């Protein structure tokens, strides 16, 4: 009967452990952003634009827009067409919507601690300036952790 050398067995276990660790680490690399991320306050912006421009970029080429903006801080401005401050059980209690079509637009999910002041300004019909993390296109262009710019 032939037995495997102990070094081959150890090497096999080490390789398996390394592969398993790699899979665990990769599973943590998902394409999601936190809904309430306080780092937005100190993160430098990569772009400053009206909401219409951000919307048009995503409609023209979502892959290219994601390359430029996904996970990065952007500063947007515009007049909100809808706001909600009700806690519906979603990830963000409050949001502003800047409609760009019949059903979709740019949805700015607000940082909870700043939401009341932002919604108040938006309700008064004022142009709002927000700094947010861009989370890509999901029907709406989704922005997260938005604060006053």
* pLDDT at residue 80 in the model: 96
Give just the sign of the alpha carbon dihedral 113, 109, 146, 133. Answer: positive
pLDDT tens per residue across span 88-110 = 666 668 999 999 999 999 999 99
- State the pTM of this model: 0.77
Six token digits for residue 27: 């599973």
Find out whether 82 and 103 touch, Cβ atoms under 8 Å: no
> Out of 9-18, 37-46, 70-79, which region has the weakest mean confidence (pLDDT)?
9-18
């Amino acid at each position: 009967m032939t037995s495997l050398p102990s070094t081959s067995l150890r090497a096999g276990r080490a390789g398996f452990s390394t592969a398993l660790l790699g899979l665990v680490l990769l599973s943590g690399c998902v394409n999601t952003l936190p809904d309430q991320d306080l780092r937005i306050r100190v993160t430098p912006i990569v772009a400053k634009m009206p909401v219409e421009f951000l919307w048009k970029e995503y409609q023209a080429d979502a892959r290219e827009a994601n390359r430029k903006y996904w996970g990065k801080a952007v500063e947007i401005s515009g007049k909100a067409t809808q706001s909600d401050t009700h806690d519906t059980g979603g990830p963000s209690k409050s949001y502003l919507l800047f409609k760009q079509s019949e059903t979709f637009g740019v949805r700015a999910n607000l940082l909870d601690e700043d939401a009341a002041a932002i919604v108040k300004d938006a309700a008064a019909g004022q142009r709002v300036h927000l700094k947010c993390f861009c989370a890509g296109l999901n029907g709406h262009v989704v922005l997260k952790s938005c604060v006053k710019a």
